[in-house]
Amino acid sequence: MPQRPYVIDEMISAKAIAARIEDLARDIRGEFAGTDKLVVVGLLRGSFVFIADLVRELDLPVEVDFLEASSYGNSTESSREVRILKDLRGQIEGRDVLVVEDIVDTGHTLSHVTHFLSTRNPARLRTIALLDKPARREVDFKAHWIGFEIPDEFVVGYGIDFAQRNRNLPYIGKVRFTDDSP
């Protein structure tokens, strides 16, 4: 299926992202000071760049694990049906857990994932998202930490894709379609 032609306009620079991650890491270190090990759970695939940069800024003992949930496929719109495609390898019962998400849009994915993980009885379960689109929220969910609040735009870069493209951009960019199709 051919893709509609589009261009990407830079929205949040790589420098701004790096500075914000330093601030977020400082807050997270404060929240989890004294933990024997923080399990940092990245939601695949979009969070992989964010999680890598974030854990390098955490001066804490960390374990990294991944969970894959999907509600988008190759579309620009959420299906609202959240599926767990890959579960954690490790145990989180009695452990401190930080779930790392790329973007909170409708809120369905992060709400579903936190409910799913809370049934495993972690000591503390916190969430962080690089981006938040509150205008699109359909469920009452707010991450504990947010990197940037953005308007209702389709974005790519810094791990976030459009049909598996543009994850490697070092910045967050707004997708602008250049044809007249819907």
- For the annotated catalytic residues, the residue numbers are 105
DSSP lists the bridge partners of residue 103 as 131
- Please state, in angstroms and rounded to a whole number, the distance separating the CA atoms of residues 124 and 98: 8
Q: How far apart are CA 161 and CA 168, in angstroms?
A: 9
User: Which residues have CB under 8 Å from 24's CB, separation 6+?
Assistant: 54, 57, 128, 145, 147
CA dihedral (134, 119, 35, 63) positive or negative:
negative
Cα(27)–Cα(21) distance, rounded to whole angstroms? 10
Instruction: State how far the Cα of 39 lies from the Cα of 91, in Å rounded to an integer.
Output: 9
How far apart are the C-alpha atoms of 73 and 129, rounded to whole Å? 20
